[in-house]
């Protein structure tokens, strides 16, 4: 497309809010915020629409006069919402045809990290090019992450992905094509990068409690070393950033850790799993001795 496409955002949650504002700031026109027909969803949609100068509608009242429909709804709702909009679009198409007005919707994206573009099949059957466009970033209320340099994984119709690349570039992100067969593995990796990283950090707090610290104190005391480890990883890579008893092959120290965590099975299980991962992928001494110890 030679011009920025007008966009209708389907949904009004955290991702929809962030994306609509980012698109608006990048000069895209947000035509409609399409919400569920519930008081809560309509309320959120009205607040978002006010920020970006859009109309608040439902799937049954949408004008569907934007070039792009961008779905930001839970995975389980994508196909059903796409079907509802396809039915509504077909009804409007009949009126448009009678008045010799062309269909304005040409593209549809969803932003699920796990599901393929075929979730939008009802719209694809209506002649709309579809794609899945997933930003590798976390969006939670109260935060405002930048999209500069953020990678967007995309998969779907060639025409839809061409438009998606242009939009991602305008947003400051970077796009890459993901084969459909790799989507589930990609999302498993993406889940490890943030949600399960938080799972580890919560376990870290639990382990600190075994040492007599509160969760809040553990968080405060842990952050400097966590930040430095991430900085080292970014600049040096994993192996040169690796330190501690495992890299020294110090089985006696590891044994004392395991004994101390016996009454705390959750942190102990995570400790063992991560120590085994370190043995697989990082430079350690006394690998055989450590392997025997971690099997016990």
Same domain, 138 and 214: no
Residue 143 has a pLDDT of: 87
Same domain, 164 and 31: yes
Whole-angstrom distance, CA of residue 85 vs CA of residue 104: 14
Show Cβ contacts of residue 25 under 8 Å, excluding neighbours closer than 6 positions: none
Q: Exposure pattern of 225-246 as b/e (b: 16+ CB <10 Å)?
A: eeeeeeeeeeeeeeeebbeebb
Q: Is residue 187 part of a domain?
A: no
Rg (CA), the chain: 24
Same domain, 206 and 148: no
Same domain, 35 and 147: yes
Same domain, 271 and 155: no
Same domain, 63 and 204: no
Same domain, 44 and 147: yes
Residue 258 has a pLDDT of: 97
- Domain end among 156, 181, 206: 181
Domain count, the chain: 2
Residue 285 has a pLDDT of: 95
Whole-angstrom distance, CA of residue 138 vs CA of residue 263: 34
Sites in the chain below the pLDDT cut of 70:
1-2, 94-103
Are 86 and 123 in contact, with CB atoms under 8 Å apart? yes
Q: What's the CATH number where 53 sits?
A: 3.40.50.720
* Beta-carbon-side half-sphere exposure of residue 281 (alpha carbons within 13 Å): 8
129 forms beta bridges with: 107
Strand duo 151-156 + 129-135: pairing: antiparallel
Q: Is residue 190 part of a domain?
A: no
Closest residue by Cα to residue 14 from 38, 58, 47 = 47
Show Cβ contacts of residue 64 under 8 Å, excluding neighbours closer than 6 positions: 8, 32, 85, 88, 89, 92, 104, 105
Q: Does residue 203 sit in helix, strand or coil?
A: helix
Residues spanned by the domain of 33: 7-181
């Amino acid at each position: 497309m030679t011009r920025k496409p007008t966009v209708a955002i389907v949904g009004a949650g955290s991702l929809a809010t962030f994306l609509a504002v980012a698109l608006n700031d990048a000069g895209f026109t947000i035509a409609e915020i399409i919400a569920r027909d519930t008081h809560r969803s309509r309320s959120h949609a009205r607040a978002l629409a006010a920020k970006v100068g859009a109309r608040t509608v439902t799937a049954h009242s949408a004008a569907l006069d934007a070039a792009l429909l961008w779905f930001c709804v839970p995975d389980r709702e994508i196909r059903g919402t796409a079907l509802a909009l396809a039915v509504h679009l077909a009804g409007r198409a009949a009126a448009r045809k009678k008045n010799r007005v062309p269909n304005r919707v040409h593209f549809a994206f969803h932003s699920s990290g796990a599901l393929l573009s075929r979730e939008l099949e009802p719209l694809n059957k209506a002649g709309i090019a579809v794609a899945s466009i997933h930003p590798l970033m976390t969006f939670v209320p109260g935060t405002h992450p930048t999209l500069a340099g953020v990678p967007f994984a995309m998969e779907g119709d060639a025409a839809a992905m061409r438009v998606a690349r242009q939009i991602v570039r305008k947003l400051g992100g970077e796009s890459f094509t993901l084969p459909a067969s790799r989507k589930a593995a990609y999302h498993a990796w993406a889940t490890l990068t943030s949600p399960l990283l938080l799972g580890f950090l919560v376990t870290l707090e639990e382990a600190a409690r075994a040492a007599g610290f509160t969760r809040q104190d553990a968080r405060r005391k842990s952050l400097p070393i966590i930040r430095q480890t991430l900085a080292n990883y970014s600049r040096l890579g994993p192996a040169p950033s690796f330190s501690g008893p495992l890299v020294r092959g110090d089985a006696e120290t590891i044994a004392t850790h395991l004994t101390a965590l016996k009454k705390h099975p959750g942190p102990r299980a995570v400790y063992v799993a991560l120590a085994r991962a370190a043995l697989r992928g990082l430079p350690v001494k006394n690998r055989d001795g450590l392997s025997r110890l971690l099997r016990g």
